[in-house]
Amino acid sequence: MSKIDLYGIPNCDTVKRARVWLEAQGRDYAFHDFKKEGADPERVAAWIAAAGLDAVLNRKGTTYRKLSDADKALAADSHTAVALLVQQPSIIKRPIVEHSGGILVGFKEDEWSAALL
């Protein structure tokens, strides 16, 4: 089976559900904690290139809503958004999974089953 890298924040409910699902499927994965390890700019740029800014940027969360209008303007453009997402990894949609077939953003069990099983 292919290697799985899961990116997120451990206390996020969606990340918790995704981890439980992976473990129930018997899938090993490496967990990367944004709070402890931060977010890598090249990786964030690659996620945006693969899935699109709208998929990677979590506009529904409290952290995004608390951003200044100037920061929200930065978040509107793929090129300037990378620096903002690296600086504020809590506005990255969670979890993000890198696997041999590409990436998954967010946890949708049917998509994950199709891609990872």
Catalytic annotation, pick one of 4, 7, 8, 12: 12
Q: Which residues of 14-46 are buried (b: 16+ CB within 10 A; e: fewer)?
A: ebeebbeebeeeebebebbebeeeebeeebbbe
Mark out the alpha helices in 7-77 (DSSP H runs). 13-24, 34-37, 41-51, 53-56, 62-65, 69-75
Q: Taking the C-alpha atoms of 11, 16, 22 and 23 in order, what is their torsion angle to the nearest 10 degrees? A: 90
* Residue 12 is a catalytic residue: yes
The residues that are catalytic are 12
